[in-house]
């Protein structure tokens, strides 16, 4: 059996600032022990209608300083909103740097055929913490030979 309690105790701690007091009632959280992401909500003063094709930057009212450069945040769409209602992200994926201290913003894009109205504090996207490996680039004239070489984009055949 997987020890979820021990796993929870070892979670990295992230500094979060509330940029709007109303968010205190809507803090992001993992919905289940195994959830990969925490939902991010729309900090809107009124319902926002997006026409087909329209894209708007929506506030979350939250700032999260990850601080550890071996971690990053990702903002990803919610599958139900994307699949059923065509509401996805204008940048497809939001990448949050570990040194970013500003407000988390969600680029909301209506890629569907119908207008969609977003409600204040509706869960719009999810925030996932991911490991990052930073590299040093080392200039070389040639690579050691590899089986693949420069082949890509279907070079090995369709099936």
Q: Which residues bind ligand DUT (CB under 6 A)?
A: 75, 91, 94-97, 100, 104-105, 107
- Please give the Cα distance from 81 to 86 (Å, whole number): 6
Nearer to ligand DUT, 91 or 128 (CB): 91
Cβ atoms of residues 108 and 118 within 8 Å: yes
- For ligand DUT, the closer of residues 59 and 85 by Cβ is 59
Task: Report in angstroms how near the CB of residue 92 gets to ligand DUT at its nearest.
Answer: 9
91 annotated binding-site participant? yes
DSSP 91-130: TSSEEE-TT--SEEEEEEEE-SSS-EEEPTT-EEEEEEEE
- Cβ closest to ligand DUT, residue 91 vs residue 123: 91
Residue positions in the annotated binding site?
78-80, 91, 95-97
């Amino acid at each position: 059996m997987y020890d979820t309690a021990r796993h929870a105790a070892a979670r990295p701690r992230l500094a979060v600032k509330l940029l709007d007091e109303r968010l205190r009632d809507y803090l992001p959280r993992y919905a289940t022990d195994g959830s990969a992401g925490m939902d991010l909500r729309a900090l809107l003063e009124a319902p926002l209608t997006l026409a087909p094709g329209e894209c708007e930057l929506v506030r979350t009212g939250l700032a999260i300083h990850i601080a550890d450069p071996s971690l990053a945040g990702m903002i990803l769409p919610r599958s139900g909103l994307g699949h059923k209602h065509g509401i996805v992200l204008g940048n497809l994926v939001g990448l949050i740097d570990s040194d970013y201290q500003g407000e988390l913003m969600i680029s909301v894009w209506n890629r569907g055929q119908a207008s969609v109205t977003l409600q204040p504090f509706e869960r719009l996207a999810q925030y996932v913490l991911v490991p990052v490996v930073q590299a040093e680039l080392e200039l070389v004239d040639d690579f050691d030979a590899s089986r693949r070489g420069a082949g890509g984009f279907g070079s090995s055949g369709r099936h």
